[in-house]
Amino acid sequence: MEIAGIPIFPEMTGLEIAALAAIYASAFLIKGVFGFGAVPLLIVGGTFVVEAHHAVVLAAISNLMTHVQLMPNGIRHGRKPLVLKLAIFVLPAIILGVWIFGRLSGPNLSVLAGAIILMSMAMDQFRLLDPLHPLVRRHQGIVGPVFGTVTGLIAGVVGAASIAFVSLYIRAFVPGRQEFRSTLILLIGIVLMWRISVLGVSGHVTTTIMIEAALLLPIGLVAGYLGSRVTDRLSDGDYFTWYRAALSFGALLMIYRGLSGAA
């Protein structure tokens, strides 16, 4: 398939393109509900039909395009000072992360991202950091830069696990569901714009991927809108339970895909 002489979804059958569209619809429905969480499914599903690095970059660009509809919520209700303090350390670390990304194999990317997400969700599920929350709040000037730097590295390398990781830190300051979701939305918007800029400068963003993302955009926007309608119907307890379940399922798929590809 070509558009103006540019190959689009190269070497993919019509059935594979339809499957990719269904994966993107499911992923952005999840993102509409939780404010994030699309990337694990986008990458896992994408790697079944396109090369791993292609899937990662396509997921990042599509994620940014659909994130625009959520940003007003993040700007209105997100904890801006907290996001800005994190961004100071996240953004420079992304540059190093993207450099590492270009040197990792596809299977290693999937396993690494999946393992980080599972670790983050287990720590959240069993409230392992709760006893440390007072300490984190008292020493925000030390803990914040550490979380911000590690988050930036993860975002640059795999993208999929960075927000799951930093959400552990944000929960210490923003326990309420609505403000928590809005704060993540705001941080994700900043991270996505910077990460794609760095990916573009490093040569990973191609015209083919940009057009593919634009073609998938309407599906993502509709699915994201439907998901945002669902989130208003969830209690705080249900929201965090389903958000952990969705990300953990995506993480397990990523690890399975990575190990299968490495075998």
β-pairing, 6-7 vs 2-3, is: antiparallel
- Distance from C-alpha of 57 to C-alpha of 158, rounded to nearest angstrom: 10
- Residues 210-235: pLDDT tens digits? 999 999 999 999 998 898 888 778 77
Q: Which residue has the tokens 């990662």?
A: 56
240's enclosing H/E stretch is helix 236-262
DSSP 132: G
* Counted domains in the chain: 1
Bridge partners of 3, per DSSP, are 6
* pTM of structure: 0.78
Q: Are the C-beta atoms of 30 and 41 separated by less than 8 Å?
A: yes
pLDDT (average), residues 170-187: 90
**Going along the chain, which residue ranges are E strands?**
2-3, 6-7
pLDDT of residue 262: 55
Range of the domain at 135: 2-262
Per the structure block, which two tokens stand in for 122? 């287990």
Q: 190 CB contacts (<8 Å, ≥6 apart)? A: 83, 87, 90, 91
Phi, psi at residue 52, to the nearest 5°?
-60, -45
Per-residue pLDDT tens digits for 235-246 = 777 877 887 787
pLDDT tens per residue, range 39-83? 777 877 787 788 777 888 898 899 899 888 889 999 999 999 999
Can you read off the two tokens belonging to residue 223?
């699915």
